[in-house]
Chain A
Amino acid sequence: MAAPKIIVVGGGLAGLMATIKLAELGAAVEVFSIVPVKRSHSVCAQGGINAAKNLKGEGDSPWRHFDDTIFGGDFLANQLPVRDMAEAAPGIIDMLDRMGVMFNRTSEGLLDFRRFGGTLHHRTAFSGATTGQQLLYALDEQVRRFEAEGRVRKFEHWEFLSAVLDGARACRGICAMDLRSMELETFAADAVIVATGGIGAIFGKSTNSVTSTGSAQSSLYQQGAFYANGEFVQVHPTAIPGEDKLRLMSESARGEGGRVWVPRDGQKWHFLEEWYPKYGNLVPRDIATRAIHKVVFELGLGVDGQPAVYLDLTHIDPKILDRKLGGILEIYEKFVGVDPRQQPMKVFPGMHYTMGGLWVDHKHRTNIAGLLAAGECEYQYHGANRLGANALLSCIYAGRVAGAAAVDHARGLANGAGAVPQRVFDQEKLRQQELNDGLLAGRGGENPFTIWKEMGRCMTEHATVLRYNDKLRQCDEKLVELLDRCRRLNLSDTSRWANQTLAFARELANMLQLARVIVRGALERNESRGGHYKPAFPDRDDAGWLKTTKAFFAPDADEPRFVYEPVDTSLIPPRERKY
């Protein structure tokens, strides 16, 4: 039997882990990525990766990790996959350690662990404050080894445009664009795994990288994939506001003893420690973010009257800071010009992560046969709020599960991708080519970067920390207006070589469609849960809303529609979430 041929879209942690698993299982793998995979957004993750190794004598266990994750996610995550992930976590750390990740060590030469938000245990393995970089590089190196052996082929500087669907709406490959020649091509596969990361660019400025647009997910949603829990986005409490992006200041700063405060009556007011004595500065992100919002906007106590609070490390030995947090101190110094060992950092919440994403089952299969999803682009593990240092874990775990499931799917196919008529591929390519031709011929007055900025402002203002139904309605109207203006673009660049404006214009239209899923999903959900908070409905409503949102695209109406499905709470009965 010929080796199954599998396409992986995206070369961050989830995509590379899937690739490694696939290669190990004997599949022929093709990896598509907009950037060289080593430059994927996973590289930005800082603080660490969770696993209940219990190396600090605290009685930690995978079950506690599981419980913290479900509780932290306000009971919206289906429980079985989360339990399985928590159980797999210690083995994943071992695997990464064997790959050569330079994790910090104890004096005995064992892995060191630190505290993170939403848990009372030292559960987070780390490599300075550049853990995402170190994990991404380890997987990148393993993939490079398979590539040198001819078992993996990379298509870097290629952008995924759409899935190729056959007459039965099953996924048979992809259509992608070479970002240099701007030529389109279709690629056949027995299964496709998308691992295309986050959606930060929908909010204009976020902690995400430029390529985290959600364009691929949106394209698939418009082709019939369910998009789940889109209204749940995470606003990280501590980022450095910037002109071009919000730069993350890792939760590990607080895990290592950093304290958040604002001046009040000439004193330092450590409001998180006062309000949450048990967890203090390490309450989960949704709670810390709302607390900062309250202190700044309701109490008017932002530092120097600005939207900012202090994140203070100055009481900690600089040698320890350099060893455990060097990477983020360097970022603060370079971009702000102030030494955080000497002066408290000024930070403010910023859009960071999407808990929502493509709907998948336990094996990471979407509702489109042959199409799987892994990593931040899917919704599986984090419920209504993700705990810090669970993202790296979920990416790697999901990549592994998806890789194995893709091979299972391929082996079960009666007819492989080779049996699909060529016209199925030609039709999809033609559809995409027409989109490109239309954009290049456009002579309207609209600039795509201007529309993007307007979308980002609208989304940040109305669809992040506090949500009001009238504002959400206005925001959706604005998105419809922007979509309309998006049909009258002028790209200012009609060339067919390395035309980045063309690629961006395509992403923009997809971002707007996905933005509507977020806003409309939030409008529907009249309760507060995790990252989704409505002052008019301040409580969690399990009777009405303990259910997964599934958005689907209604092509005729050009808008999202919603269905809901029950959440699996078979292992831990929902309880009040109080820290």
Chain B
Amino acid sequence: MMVEVRVRRQQTPSSGPRWETFRVEATPGMNVIGALLRIAENPVTAGGKPTTPVSYDANCLEEVCGSCAMRINGRVAMACSALLERLDQPVRLEPLSRFPMVRDLQVDRSRLFEDLKRVKAWIPIDGTYDLGPGPRLAQREQEAAYPFARCISCGSCLEACPQYNDKTGFVGAAVIGQVRLFNTHPTGRMHAHERLEALLGAGGIHECGYAQNCLEACPKDIPLTQAISEVGGQVMRHSILGFFKR
């Protein structure tokens, strides 16, 4: 099957974007990454013009490392699990739009990791030496928490969120999902107030506009809107209690 692939390319963060079209012989089960590899083997456009291989991020190729999020036919998707035979032709590939450009389909998502620092998305353990077993946890609680622990930090929910931009500084659904995860863990709960405090500040949970796009964009089906509503409630209680303590 011959597939036409159009790639939005940009040589450097400051150069102008341009489109290039490639024709790729697709085998059954081939994904978008497979097409990009074929292009790298023979970097020539459909018009016969030699060009450079396309720059992109990818690592695990099984949708668990979170690297290869991009816009495919106008919607955010993971390139590794986007099989060519299931996509409308021609296939249009564009970089994520909410993050600084690096080159071609590569963008800089470091802000996501910085925001995880802001909300202290970790369990503050005393040390790694032998301090005995961890807290007991009901099966039910584990099952409710586990989906949030599967967030791959791909940025899909942020790309789809109308509020995720420099103006609001909104941390976005992925980060709120992590607050949900740590605030219900038996040890993490002891420090819930620190995370809620962070979500009360600039770019906090009040910036959510309830568009609910995050839920649909998430490749891991994480119940993000549920996290936003639960954590929203926690933030509200925290701020009211804080008001009366003043």
A24: B residues at CB distance < 8 A: 127-128
CB neighbors of B among A133-148 (8 A): 133-134, 137-138, 141-142, 144-145, 147-148
Residue of B41, B81, B120, B134 contacting most chain A CB atoms (<10 Å): B134
Is the pair A100, B187 in contact by a Cβ cutoff of 8 Å?
yes
Q: Choose from B50, B55, B181 the contact partner of A500 (Cβ within 8 Å).
A: B55
With A492-B52, A498-B106 known as contacts, the answer to whether A335 contacts B62 (CB < 8 A) is: yes
B28: A residues at CB distance < 8 A: 243
Is the pair A247, B27 in contact by a Cβ cutoff of 8 Å?
no
CB neighbors of A among B110-154 (8 A): 110, 113, 116-117, 120-125, 127-128, 130-139, 142-143, 145-146, 149-150, 152-153
The reply on B200 being an interface residue by CB < 8 A is: no
Q: Choose from B81, B125, B145 the contact partner of A98 (Cβ within 8 Å).
A: B125
Residue of A98, A141, A244 contacting most chain B CB atoms (<10 Å): A244
A95: B residues at CB distance < 8 A: 125, 128, 130-131
- Cα A44 to Cα B152 in complex, Å, equals 11
Is the pair A127, B59 in contact by a Cβ cutoff of 8 Å?
no
With A141-B122, A209-B60 known as contacts, the answer to whether A98 contacts B131 (CB < 8 A) is: yes
With A24-B128, A39-B59 known as contacts, the answer to whether A144 contacts B188 (CB < 8 A) is: no
Is the pair B81, A334 in contact by a Cβ cutoff of 8 Å?
yes
Is the pair B137, A94 in contact by a Cβ cutoff of 8 Å?
no
B74: A residues at CB distance < 8 A: none
Interface size on B (CB < 8 Å)?
74
A211: B residues at CB distance < 8 A: 59
A127: B residues at CB distance < 8 A: 146, 149
Is the pair B31, A449 in contact by a Cβ cutoff of 8 Å?
no
Q: How far is the CB of A402 from chain B (nearest CB, A)?
A: 14
The reply on B58 being an interface residue by CB < 8 A is: yes
With A244-B30, A495-B52 known as contacts, the answer to whether A331 contacts B145 (CB < 8 A) is: no
Q: How far is the CB of A490 from chain B (nearest CB, A)?
A: 10
- Cα A108 to Cα B137 in complex, Å, equals 8
With A105-B139, A242-B29 known as contacts, the answer to whether A447 contacts B41 (CB < 8 A) is: yes
With A98-B134, A243-B31, A335-B29 known as contacts, the answer to whether A39 contacts B42 (CB < 8 A) is: no
Is the pair B34, A98 in contact by a Cβ cutoff of 8 Å?
no
The reply on B37 being an interface residue by CB < 8 A is: yes
Is the pair A209, B59 in contact by a Cβ cutoff of 8 Å?
yes
What is the number of contacts between chain A and chain B, taking CB atoms within 8 Å? 190
- Cα A108 to Cα B136 in complex, Å, equals 8
List the one stretch of B63-71, B164-172, B210-218, B237-245 in contact with chain A. Answer: B63-71
Q: How far is the CB of B140 from chain A (nearest CB, A)?
A: 9
Is the pair B138, A450 in contact by a Cβ cutoff of 8 Å?
no
Binary flags per residue of A91-122, CB closer than 8 Å to B gives 1, else 0: 10011111110111111111000000000000
Binary flags per residue of A230-249, CB closer than 8 Å to B gives 1, else 0: 00000000000011110110
- Cα A171 to Cα B9 in complex, Å, equals 41
The reply on A47 being an interface residue by CB < 8 A is: no
CB neighbors of A among B36-90 (8 A): 37, 40-43, 50-53, 55-67, 80-81, 83
The reply on A275 being an interface residue by CB < 8 A is: no
Is the pair A493, B52 in contact by a Cβ cutoff of 8 Å?
yes
Is the pair A142, B125 in contact by a Cβ cutoff of 8 Å?
yes
Q: How far is the CB of B125 from chain A (nearest CB, A)?
A: 5
- Cα A156 to Cα B109 in complex, Å, equals 11
With A97-B134, A109-B138 known as contacts, the answer to whether A102 contacts B65 (CB < 8 A) is: no
- Cα A194 to Cα B109 in complex, Å, equals 26
Binary flags per residue of A42-60, CB closer than 8 Å to B gives 1, else 0: 0110000000000000000
The reply on A180 being an interface residue by CB < 8 A is: yes
Is the pair A449, B103 in contact by a Cβ cutoff of 8 Å?
no
The reply on B102 being an interface residue by CB < 8 A is: yes
The reply on A466 being an interface residue by CB < 8 A is: no
With A35-B67, A243-B29 known as contacts, the answer to whether A210 contacts B123 (CB < 8 A) is: no
The reply on B185 being an interface residue by CB < 8 A is: yes
Binary flags per residue of B170-185, CB closer than 8 Å to A gives 1, else 0: 0000000000011001
B117 (CB) vs chain A CBs: closest residue: A148
The reply on B12 being an interface residue by CB < 8 A is: yes
A102: B residues at CB distance < 8 A: 142, 145-146, 149
**Known contacts A36-B153, A247-B61; 20 further A-B pairs (Cβ under 8 A):** A36-B110, A40-B59, A40-B65, A98-B123, A100-B122, A104-B139, A105-B139, A105-B142, A127-B149, A130-B64, A242-B29, A248-B62, A334-B81, A335-B29, A400-B128, A449-B40, A497-B11, A497-B12, A500-B56, A501-B40
A-B complex: 3 closest residue pairs judged by Cβ atoms: A97-B134, A109-B136, A141-B122
Could you jot down 9 A-B contacts, CB within 8 Å?
A44-B64, A102-B146, A127-B146, A130-B150, A142-B122, A145-B120, A243-B34, A335-B81, A492-B43
Residues of A near any B CB (own CB < 8 A): 20-21, 24, 35-36, 38-41, 43-44, 91, 94-100, 102-110, 127-128, 130, 133-134, 137-138, 141-142, 144-145, 147-148, 156, 180, 209-211, 242-245, 247-248, 323, 327, 331, 334-336, 400, 447, 449-450, 453, 492-493, 495, 497-501
